[in-house]
Amino acid sequence: MFQGVDELWMDGEFVDFDDAQIHVLTHGLHYGSGVFEGVRCYDTVDGPAVFRWEEHLERFYQSGKPYDLDIPFEPEELTEATIELIRREELESCYIRPIAFYGYDSLGVSPGDCPTKVAIGAWPWGAYLGEDALENGVDVMVSSWRKHASSQIPTNMKTTGLYVNSMLATEEAKGNGYTEAIVLNKEGNVAEGPGENLFLVRDGEIYTPGLAESILDGITRRTAIELARDLGYTVHDQATISRGELYTADELFFTGTAAEVTPIRSVDDNVIGEGTKGPVTDEIQDQFFDLVEGRLDGYDDWFTYV
Ligand code: PMP
């Protein structure tokens, strides 16, 4: 995955790939006490541009809040570092991974004087669930693992430790021959994918679980809601969706920075709609790629040009 990556940015400077190292007694490694982002830079018609960078950066800082994880760099410094990294790596489109975590000092659960370490990596990353997935959709299963309740851990933040739950769900799905999982929340309602938000289409209207359903406030989710409304669809963005409603949906799709807009063609072996990319999904996906590749007017604010 990291072939061809020469440098990363770490704690204020660019370092060679092989030198981007941390100590094995790092707090974040032991307790998952870190936060991260996943961002994409697209090769737009006006050149490489990072999509909705400001929103990702805001979520990055906010994710650290409950953990008193203060990121010791100004947003402008992280922006400059990211743009410079993409330039130095000569990337046109790429995935960008900022991470901040408690470093090495002591190993009490309380991070005490552990310094906050910050790093940014960037590398080319194609369709997360595969090119075929974008066109033909994915087969998914409802995981036997439930999402953490937001009373147990803030689920609207990208904390590293949260992702062992996502890993369990993903591995369970793959182990059973599916491409991806859908995870229910503690109440048994639909939450999201392990790394994606979920949308349902029924009778021409669009539904997506609300923020109180233990989901991440996905930036692609926000984008899809806005695009769908601009296209004239009614979008219910605070929906509660039961497991059974998945099986009777006309269409289902995932959204995410990595997964972009990926159709779901079956859930637990129940074919959704015609078992292909549905017409509403198709329209939103088309609009999404027109947007991120810079072919739609009026969204310039969402791009940070390299
Ligand atoms: N839910 C989870 C659990 C995720 O990890 C992601 C990926 N960041 C998403 C949803 C989608 O969020 P975004 O569109 O901001 O990438």
Instruction: Look at residues 123, 146, 169 and tell me which one is the last residue of a structural domain.
Output: 123
Residue 126 has pLDDT above 90, yes or no: no
**298 in a domain, yes or no?**
no
The catalytic residues are: 158
For the Cβ of 260 lying below 6 angstroms from any atom of ligand 1, the answer is no
What per-residue confidence (pLDDT) applies to 189? Answer: 98
What is the ipTM for the molecules in this complex?
Answer: 0.99
**255 in a domain, yes or no?**
yes
What is the helix (H) or strand (E) element at residue 238, kind and residue range?
strand 235-239
Angle between helical axes of 279-292 and 219-230 (0-180°, round to 10): 110
- pLDDT per residue over 90-102, tens digit each? 999 999 999 999 9
Ligand 1 centre distance from Cα of residue 113 (Å): 30
| Amino acid type, 154 | P
Instruction: Look at residues 79, 106, 123 and tell me which one is the last residue of a structural domain.
Output: 123
Domain count of the chain? Answer: 2
For the Cβ of 40 lying below 6 angstroms from any atom of ligand 1, the answer is no
For the Cβ of 38 lying below 6 angstroms from any atom of ligand 1, the answer is yes
Residue 269 has pLDDT above 90, yes or no: yes
- pLDDT per residue over 198-255, tens digit each? 999 999 999 999 999 999 999 999 999 999 999 999 999 999 999 999 999 999 999 9
Q: Which residues of 89-112 are buried (b: 16+ CB within 10 A; e: fewer)?
A: bebebbbbbbbbbbbbeeeeeebe
For the Cβ of 197 lying below 6 angstroms from any atom of ligand 1, the answer is yes
Across the chain, mean pLDDT equals: 97
Residue 157 has pLDDT above 90, yes or no: yes
Residue 128 has pLDDT above 90, yes or no: no
**297 in a domain, yes or no?**
no
Q: Which atom of ligand 1 is nearest to the CA of 166?
A: 3
Residue 177 has pLDDT above 90, yes or no: yes
Same domain, 114 and 66: yes
CATH number at residue 149: 3.20.10.10
CATH number at residue 55: 3.30.470.10
**Is the Cα torsion angle 147, 211, 122, 10 positive or negative in sign?**
negative
Q: Report the residue among 180, 184, 216 best suited for mutation to probe ligand 1: largest number of ligand atoms under 8 A from its CB.
A: 216
What per-residue confidence (pLDDT) applies to 131? Answer: 86
* Bridge partners (DSSP) listed for residue 154: none
Average of per-residue pLDDT across 141-159: 96
Provide the domain limits for residue 275. Answer: 131-292
